């Protein structure tokens, strides 16, 4: 159907984890249409994520505050044959329509779905499969049948140098990353639990611990790391590219359901995730794409993460740890 397609835009204008879960769409589309230029249409702060994906040919950044005319001009400059709107928003959808992109793929269940001429009839709110699989359904609407649930990030050489310099200065060799925040994307395990986990990783697994977070999470990370030997607060120390590089060097990553767990998984690091059970946040939809993962949720089906003990998470961390890491 689309063997003559030259350029495809994949629009995903929300957060880091969501963008990582869109990357299998790029991989699959490139397998189906190897000569086609794939353009990622994303927010500026996630642009380094898609730039690190080998199957992304071009990145165009979107600002929700920009005028609709600016968005239309950006789309027109790509001169795309089709656009996949993975994260449905009216402004993006109407811009694609007014930019006269010939094939516009999106959900069939928004009031503005008439702006799409390829409509996918799936309710994501049902959360019956991975977000990545929902994204791939939109790729299938333009004839892409190589639905591949895989992704990887190209690790930046300068980022590796910066991460290794940090580790050298802090006298860190083999280490686990613990990320106690979530940026409000899901429910959080308590800082006290993360602190106890860091103590056990340091004492019993003989691993140093790097506690990570944004600059805004520096106090949270300090409360988790303070007073623990071989535990360092690195919140706010890295750019996104450098952070991905740091994750690629870690033996293990532990966090709530949040963007960095997806980055760690895509960087090839074993991960342990702490997730609630409710449909909007269920691990069935939002777990990272990797075989090297253990996901823990309250066994009673609730969203009360306090019911997940430090012992449970520690056991999972020990199992996920590579044999030669300790």
- Read off the pLDDT of residues 191-236 as tens digits, 9 standing for 90 and up: 999 999 999 999 999 999 999 999 999 999 999 999 999 999 999 9
52-63 average pLDDT score: 97
Domains of the chain: 7-140 (3.40.50.2000), 157-320 (3.40.50.2000)
Instruction: Assign 61 a pLDDT band (cuts: 50, 70, 90).
Output: very high
Each residue of 72-103: b (16+ CB within 10 Å) or e? bebbeebebbbbbbbbbbeebbebbbebebeb
The yes-or-no verdict on residue 269 having pLDDT over 80 is yes
Cβ atoms of 316 and 304 closer than 8 Å: no
112-135 average pLDDT score: 96
The yes-or-no verdict on residue 323 having pLDDT over 80 is no
The yes-or-no verdict on residue 28 having pLDDT over 60 is yes
Instruction: Assign 2 a pLDDT band (cuts: 50, 70, 90).
Output: low
Query: What whole-number percentage of the chain has pLDDT above 90?
Result: 91
The yes-or-no verdict on residue 137 having pLDDT over 80 is yes
The yes-or-no verdict on residue 93 having pLDDT over 80 is yes
Instruction: Assign 162 a pLDDT band (cuts: 50, 70, 90).
Output: very high
**More confident site: 2 or 218:** 218
**pLDDT for 326:** 55
The yes-or-no verdict on residue 45 having pLDDT over 60 is yes
The yes-or-no verdict on residue 254 having pLDDT over 80 is yes
**pLDDT for 152:** 87
The yes-or-no verdict on residue 273 having pLDDT over 70 is yes
**pLDDT for 284:** 96
- The mean pLDDT of the chain is 95
180-187 average pLDDT score: 82
**pLDDT for 221:** 98
């Amino acid at each position: 159907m689309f063997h003559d397609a030259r350029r495809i835009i994949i629009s995903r204008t929300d957060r880091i984890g969501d963008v990582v879960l869109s990357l299998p769409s790029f991989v699959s589309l490139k397998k189906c249409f190897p000569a086609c230029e794939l353009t990622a249409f994303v927010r500026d702060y996630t642009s380094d994520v898609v730039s690190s994906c080998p199957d992304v040919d071009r990145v165009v950044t979107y600002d929700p505050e920009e005028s609709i005319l600016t968005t239309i001009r950006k789309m027109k400059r790509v001169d795309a044959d089709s656009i996949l709107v993975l994260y449905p928003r009216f402004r993006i959808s109407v811009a694609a329509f007014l930019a006269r992109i010939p094939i516009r793929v999106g959900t069939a269940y928004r009031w503005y779905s008439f702006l799409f001429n390829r409509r996918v009839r799936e309710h994501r709110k049902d959360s019956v499969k991975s977000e990545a699989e929902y994204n791939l359904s939109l790729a299938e609407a333009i004839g892409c049948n190589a639905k591949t649930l895989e992704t990887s990030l190209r690790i930046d050489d300068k980022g590796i140098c910066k991460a290794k310099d940090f580790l050298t200065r802090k006298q860190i060799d083999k280490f686990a990353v613990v990320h106690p925040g979530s940026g409000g994307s899901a429910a959080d395990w308590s800082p006290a639990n993360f602190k106890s986990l860091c103590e056990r990783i340091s004492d019993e697994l003989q691993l140093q611990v790097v506690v990570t977070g944004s600059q805004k999470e520096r106090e949270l990370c300090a409360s988790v790391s303070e007073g623990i030997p071989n535990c360092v607060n690195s919140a706010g120390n890295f750019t996104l590219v450098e952070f991905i590089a740091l994750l690629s060097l870690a033996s293990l990553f532990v966090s709530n359901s949040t963007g960095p767990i997806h980055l760690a998984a895509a960087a090839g690091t074993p991960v342990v995730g702490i997730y609630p059970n409710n449909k909007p946040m269920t691990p069935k939809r939002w777990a990272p794409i990797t075989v090297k993962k253990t996901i823990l949720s309250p066994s009673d089906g609730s969203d009360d993460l306090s019911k997940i003990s430090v012992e449970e998470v520690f056991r999972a961390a020990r199992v996920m740890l590579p044999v030669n890491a300790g």
